[in-house]
Amino acid sequence: MEVTRPALVFDRVGYAYEEAPREAVSDISLTIAEGEWVGVTGPTNAGKSTLCLLAMGLAPHFFGGRLKGGVTVLGKDSRQVSVIERSAEVGLLFQNPFTQVSGARERVDDEVAFGPECHGVARPEVEARVAEAMERVGIAHLAARHPMDLSGGQLQRLALAGLLAMRPAVLLLDEPTSQLDPAGAAAIFDVLAGLHQRGTTILMVEHRLERLCELCPRVVAMAAGRVIADGPPDEVFNREAVQERVGIPVFTRLARDGALPRPWPVRVGDAATAFAKSIA
């Protein structure tokens, strides 16, 4: 990969929420280059969502708490930029799509327009962006519906469309497809792949290890608030500490249980090759 300027830099970051006795994340140092697609995974309470909140600036601006070290996004220090200012360049998709809609708009297309309008985007440009964002995530046919009448899966697409219409350079996604059926999830990952190709930086929290390995060239594994491994998925999931504390993808476990030689594959293609070799 060609060297570009970093989109996200975590420099020895520690963060504790207001009144929390312990830090939610500790000693995080990560540099993510512009255009990278990084997957983040780990057990509950590993600090994955906190990582997203830190990158957005909601921690500490919204939550208060104690921040150690520095978080720099697109060259700007978190302490110096408000969340609202950062929203021009950085988008965050929350785990819960129900609370991500504005609660003020009565049509899906108006809801998608909310962000660009807040940013003072010119009217014809707003229309164009709204149409494009709805088309991309596959909700164009719902344009006239009331956001409250949508299912969880449809709301999740709507929330993503609302972010895409703001054209962020960096996307932070906290389990972006949790509410979707497999076909719907695959469609959203196609959208993300398209954005990745056009240079958007993506940081994505995902529990489904197989998806993570298939999609993300780089995986960050977290546990108990710390990064325990960071690198290409094949490398990360061949580490014993990761297998023990984070989990092990299906193909990797099959290779282990099928007594294949190490390193074990993490993607279906590599697994097919490895098993074919062992059968022969």
Partner 1 sequence: MAGGLSLYAEGTSLLHRAHPLTKGVLTLSAIALAFIAPSLWWVVGILVVLLALVTAAGVLRRFFAVALAILLPITLLLLAVQGFANPLNRTVVFALGPIVYYREGLAFAALAALRIACLVSATFLFSFTTRPADIAEALMQRGLSPRMGYVVQSALQIIPQTLEMAGRIQDAQRARGLETQGSLPRRARAYLPLMLPLVLSSLVATQERAMALEVRGFGLKVKRIARYEFFDSTLQRALRWALALAVPGAIVARVAGWR
Partner 2 sequence: MPEIRLEDVRFAYPGGVDVYPEPGLTLALGDGVTALVGENGAGKTTLTKLLIGLLRPRAGSVTVQGEDVAKATVAAMARIVGYSFQNPDDQLFERTVRAEVSFGPRVLRKPVAEVERGVAWALEACGLKGREEVHPHDLGLSERKWVAIASALAGEPQVVVLDEPTLGQDYPSRERLRSLVAQLADMGRTVLVVTHDMDFVGEACSSTVVLSEGAVRYAGPTAAAFADRDLVDEAGIEPPHVTSLARRLGLGDAVSERAFLAALGR
The region of 53-61, 74-82, 195-203, 242-250 touching partner 2 under the rule CB under 8 A is 242-250
Regarding 183 and contact with partner 2 (CB under 8 A), the answer is yes
Nearer to partner 2, 76 or 226 (CB): 226
Q: 112 and 104 in contact (C-beta within 8 Å)? A: no
Nearer to partner 2, 50 or 87 (CB): 50
Q: How far is CA 273 from CA 84, 249, 250, in A?
A: 48, 16, 15
CA 92/CA 52 separation, integer angstroms: 7
Binding residue (CB under 8 A) for partner 1 from 42, 60, 91, 233 = 91
Nearer to partner 2, 140 or 169 (CB): 140
Nearest of 211, 171, 175 to residue 49 by alpha carbon: 175
Q: Residue with structure tokens 């719902």? A: 142
Considering only residues 51 to 70 of the shown chain, the ones binding partner 2 according to CB under 8 A are: none
Binding residue (CB under 8 A) for partner 2 from 151, 197, 217, 232 = 151
Q: 97 and 91 in contact (C-beta within 8 Å)? A: no
The region of 10-18, 25-33, 73-81, 113-121 touching partner 1 under the rule CB under 8 A is 113-121
* Degrees to nearest 5, angle at CA 79 with 75 and 81: 65
CA 194/CA 160 separation, integer angstroms: 14
Query: At its nearest, how many Å lie between partner 1 and the CB of residue 214?
Result: 28
- Size of interface with partner 1, in residues (CB under 8 A): 39
Regarding 244 and contact with partner 1 (CB under 8 A), the answer is no
Considering only residues 133 to 192 of the shown chain, the ones binding partner 1 according to CB under 8 A are: 146, 148-149, 162-163, 166
- Which option in partner 2, partner 1, none does residue 233 bind, with CB closer than 5 to 8 A by kind? none
Regarding 263 and contact with partner 2 (CB under 8 A), the answer is no
Binding residue (CB under 8 A) for partner 2 from 87, 179, 201, 238 = 179
Q: Which residues pair with residue 149 across a beta bridge? A: none
Regarding 145 and contact with partner 2 (CB under 8 A), the answer is no
The residues that touch partner 1, with contacts defined as CB under 8 A, are 56, 58, 62, 83-85, 87-88, 91-92, 94, 96, 98-106, 110, 113-115, 117-123, 126, 146, 148-149, 162-163, 166
The residues that touch partner 2, with contacts defined as CB under 8 A, are 42-45, 95, 151-154, 175, 178-186, 207-210, 246-248, 250-251, 253-254, 257-259, 268, 271-272, 275-276, 279
